[in-house]
Amino acid sequence: MNSKANLSFANLSAILASIAIVMAPHAPHVPKWTVAFCVIGLLIRLFAGWQRRPLPSKWLMVLFALVAVGGVLFSYRTLFGRDSAVTLLLAMAVLKSLEMHSRRDITIVAVLCYFLTITNFFYTQTILTALYSIGAAWLITATMVSLEHQTAPAQWKHVARTSGVLLAQSVPVMLLLFVLFPRIEGPLWGLPRFENIGRTGLSDKMAPGSMSRLSLSDEIAFRVTFQTPPADPRKLYWRGPVLWDYDGRTWTAGERVSLSSFTYESRGAPLKYSVTLEPHDKNWLFLVDLPSSLPRKSFMTRDYQVIAFNPVQQRLLYRAESHPLYRAGTEARQDELERALELPGFAAPKTREMVREWRNAGLTPKQIADQALDIFRTRPFVYTLEPPPLDKDPVDQFMFETRRGFCEHFASSFAVMMRAAGVPTRVVTGYLGGEINPIDGYLVVRQSEAHAWNEVWIRGEGWVRYDPTAAVSPLRIERGLATAVPETDVQPLLRRTQLQWIIEMRHQWDAVTNSWNQWVLGYTQEQQYRFLESFGFSDLSWRDMIIALMVTTGLVLAAFAIAMFMRLGGVISDPSQKLWLRFCEAMAARGIVRKASEGPRDFTARIVEQTPSLRERVQRIRDLYIELRYGGPDRSYRAYAHAVRELRTQIGMLNSSASGPDANA
């Protein structure tokens, strides 16, 4: 490779396009000034190449670099960490393109582009990201291949094919690295996934409108595969944060206390299943209510919530067992029951007045709960994704004025009524139901399935589930969210049941994504050991796997080298060289054999001396060959192809005249 870069405008455009393509996915993750800085820098370099203007001076480049570093420090207050490092790398790649003039500079820019492609996986590892990264790598490789054509301009089909072959040849090594490279527990590269904070939308707080907003999301919360199929997956309650404390508007979970021992009464067969939980940067795990066995590295709280030891910052696969029908909490602690009765003195005065009659009438806790459900059934309450805002006392305003709400409105109001009537009650949040994907059989639980319900403590029965939403809208429990809310409500596009083709397309894509998650992103350290054990390798250490990786990779590369040597030995790819050899063979047939020491000028001079009648044609063949072989890449591909065709024609005419008068001259 020459040290000087003879960059045509087409090659320069390809390099800058490669930079832009690998930078584009980072636009949502970096400050706006970084996007403007990169766009302006690339446009300046493109304009300089187009108009053949001089590149910025070294002092100006130093100033640009200081501006970039200062911008990163101002935005992140540090130069270390994922976001600041990626932002600085983007800026430096653009600055390097502004001083790019040698082959070494071009190589550095290409390597930066490759690395920037990898940094996309710092933020997301979806299959679309992988496909985009492969396309970006293909473009960068094609750009580098085109720069290697010194004697002839590159044809885009040839360049695309060559870069594709190079990428295809890397696949075996890539698979070996994927299978054998030791897996490290934790997020990719050990970096926290800050972008996942709050992704599930569920938190340890619940206020009016919080879950109705969440139900507009089509994002997947988790996927489930059942070892024992449930009777109806749409009626499964997936337990999440349990809320105890109420301040007149917001419910909060409070302190988590680990459960030292757990006794319950099962009233049905156990349900065994596996959950693939999407990262949400919280500690809670979602299991069918009520779990009887826990995943590894987790514990259960006194209110039966399952908590992981560490925040879920990467996709997590865990197995569990639950009993959907149960009796638990019959021996509840007195401090828990007192906490489940607490209400602010100013909260919901109208509602308190209404339920005072139930308490004075001597109704049992179960009768009081049924009375509250009857209010939701008989009065004109509406289940909707678009509840009106509650700016006064939220419970009284909802119960006596708006009467339009989502699950959190009904659960909150029910809990206030129960506590006001002297019945211990708590609010449970999580997910209800899900959708079976007919392609792969998984239950897909989306953010739109977020739900809130209540648990009431009844003597002799323990904590009993009550779902006031079912009293208002039984369809929510029987058929799911899409059929329960009014048709005029805004719903996520992929939840609109009338668009059947969209639903089918979503199922197909979910199945593909699930396979990607299970077999690629889910290839954890545990699964790696299990996979290698299936081939007879057990108790492998990191050293063993590194040695196996080096040996197998070396064998694959050696096989490629041997195959390429056998295939390329003696093969000439330059069309002008092939035509020149054909010309030499034609002259040898006439008795004029080229000597090994003769160049094109000396050889053609000897031909003209022996056969003067071929002077013009031989000299034209000589000139065309020298132009094609040594003329450089400045001409267009059209001019190059035209010269090749003319050389082929001249040699063909020379061969056709071999039987003529001068054949034996």
The torsion angle over the Cα atoms of residues 337, 339, 341 and 343, rounded to 10 degrees, is 180
How far apart (Å, rounded) are the C-alpha atoms in residues 508 and 176?
29
Closest by Cα among 72, 80, 8 to 38: 72
pLDDT on residue 664: 41
Predicted pLDDT of residue 29: 85
Helix residue spans in 436-541 (DSSP H)? 468-472, 474-478, 481-484, 500-516, 525-533
Q: 653 burial class (0-12, 13-18, 19+ CB within 10 angstroms)?
A: exposed
Cα-flanking dihedrals φ and ψ of residue 273, to 5°? -160, 165
Q: What is the pLDDT of residue 476?
A: 56
* Amino acid code (one letter) for 293: S
Cα dist from 193 to 7, 122, 314, 548, 651, whole Å:
41, 8, 8, 31, 66
Quick one: the chain helix, strand, coil %, rounded to 5?
55, 15, 35
**Apex 551 CA angle, 170 and 108, nearest 5:** 40
What are 509-561's pLDDT values in tens digits? 888 887 887 777 777 777 777 777 777 777 777 777 788 778 888 888 888 77
Which residues, other chains included, contact 10 with Cβ-Cβ below 8 Å and sequence gap of 6+?
Answer: none
Rounded CA separation 19/113 (Å): 6
Taking the CB of residue 366, how many other CB atoms lie within 10 A of it?
A: 15
Q: Which residue has the tokens 């919280």?
A: 282
Residue 287 contacts residue 306 (beta carbons within 8 Å): yes
Q: pLDDT tens digits for 192-249?
A: 444 433 344 588 888 887 777 776 677 888 999 999 888 888 889 999 999 999 999 9
Q: Which of 121, 85, 199, 81 is nearest to 447 (CA)?
A: 199
Cα–Cα distance, 303 to 336 (Å, whole number): 9
Which one, of 583, 586, 615, lies nearest residue 600 by Cα? Answer: 583
Domain ranges of the chain: 9-148, 205-251+268-501, 575-656
C-alpha 410/C-alpha 387 separation (Å) is 12
pLDDT at 288 (0 to 100): 92
Three-state SS annotation for 542-553: HHHHHHHHHHHH
- What is the Cα–Cα distance from 363 to 270, expressed in whole angstroms? 35
DSSP SS3 for 109? helix
Q: At what angle do helices 82-98 and 103-119 cross, to 10 degrees?
A: 160
Look at residue 395 in the predicted model and tell me its pLDDT: 93
Q: Tell me, what's the pLDDT at 473?
A: 76
Q: Which of 530, 566, 537 is nearest to 552 (CA)?
A: 537
Pairing of strands 326-328, 264-266: antiparallel
In order of 384, 495, 600, the CA distances from 215 in angstroms are: 11, 10, 78
Residue with tokens 């339920």: 355
The residue ranges of the chain whose pLDDT is under 70 are 1-7, 149-155, 184-201, 215-216, 475-500, 567-573, 632-637, 657-665
